[in-house]
Amino acid sequence: MVTPSLKGKTLFITGASRGIGRAIALRAAKDGANIVIVAKTDVATSKLAGTIHSVAEEVVKAGGQALACKVDLRNPAEVENAVKEAVERFGGIDIVINNASALAIMPTLETDIKRFDLVNQINSRGTWLTSRLCLPHLLKSSNPHILTLSPPLDMSAKWFKPHCGYTMAKYGMSMVTLGLSAEFKEQGVACNALWPLTTIATDALNILGGDPLKNLSRTDDIMADAAYLILTQPSRECTGNFFIDEDLLRAHGVTDFAHYAVTKGATQFAADFFCTRFSSRALRLSRLRGKIRQNRLLVCSAHSAPLGHAHFW
């Protein structure tokens, strides 16, 4: 039996300078993968840790090869140039991770057009654009995958009422997944989405609730491990799925999740936006609502999710 591996595969990861994107990059690098680190941050700041260059160094130390590309996903020319650089450096692209996402959690009358445009341009438009520009190269790969970090589609009004603009942008990413999975199924390009069961401890939590919420979260390693399982599947046999991280790992025999908890020994975790089901282990974000600071926006890669089983579409 051949052990699944990403050795020699080229991953084009947006929003890879920190958080979940970085975690997925480092997990793949352990196999000896080529990582194209696509993000805006090329100089460290006091507010946000990590740059495309610091992650590139980590990738090389982990055993992979790295290409750092400073890119604003709102600029098609910059994305196109990054794709060209990746192909010139590594000979092609095998995997696309649509991880970059803008967060704007606020009601309609508090959302100005600049913020609305930003979240929609980066989230849904950025996901479509990145996928579109990489597809000609993915079609040449022996096992092509597009993995987008977005939630299962649930058109309940409750998800639109508190932050309509953001929900539109996030669901737009899921709609790209749904559409491309059908459009490119016959060509063998896998298009799937992945969403966490609980809140993930990334920089976005500084906006959503700070340490109280972080202590109820899991580390980004759980998303990296779940992504790895998806990306090592045969692309023609695994497409059109909306996976939930814990459910996917359980389906592959994982039973111990304690090491993913930010707080050692934690038994309860926060279920964030778009949670369709809850368990005794999950706390509704509404119970933590007083911790949320409104009217802030951050381009980041933090996500949280429904509690339950993987969704297949």
Domain boundaries, the chain: 10-312
Identify whether the C-beta of residue 73 lies closer than 8 Å to the C-beta of residue 126: yes
Q: Name which of 125-134, 145-154, 203-212 the model is least confident about.
A: 203-212
pLDDT band at 122 (very low <50, low <70, confident <90, very high): very high
Angle at 298 (CA atoms; ends 296, 302), nearest 5 degrees: 120
| Nearest alpha-carbon partner for 275 in 196, 192, 170, 172 | 196
Task: State how far the alpha carbon of 55 is from the alpha carbons of 62, 148, 164, 198, 248, in Å.
Answer: 10, 20, 33, 25, 27
**Residue 291 has which token pair?**
């911790």
User: Is the pLDDT assigned to residue 281 strictly greater than 50?
Assistant: no
Per-residue DSSP letters for 161-182? Answer: SS-HHHHHHHHHHHHHHHHHHH
Say what the pLDDT of residue 120 is: 97
CATH topology of domain 10-312: Rossmann fold (3.40.50)
Identify whether the C-beta of residue 12 lies closer than 8 Å to the C-beta of residue 97: yes
Q: What is the mean pLDDT of residues 13-40?
A: 97
User: Catalytic residue at 166?
Assistant: yes
Q: Which amino acid does the sequence have at 282?
A: A
- Cα maximum dimension of the chain: 57
Q: Name which of 30-39, 65-74, 193-202, 276-285 the model is least confident about.
A: 276-285
User: Is the pLDDT assigned to residue 308 strictly greater than 50?
Assistant: no
pLDDT in tens, 70-103: 999 999 999 999 999 999 999 999 999 999 999 9
Pairing of strands 145-148, 65-70: unpaired
pLDDT in tens, 176-207: 999 999 999 999 999 999 999 899 998 877 76
Of residues 46 and 264, the one with the higher pLDDT is 264
pLDDT band at 253 (very low <50, low <70, confident <90, very high): very high
Catalytic residue among 166, 171, 228, 260: 166
3-state secondary structure of 40: coil
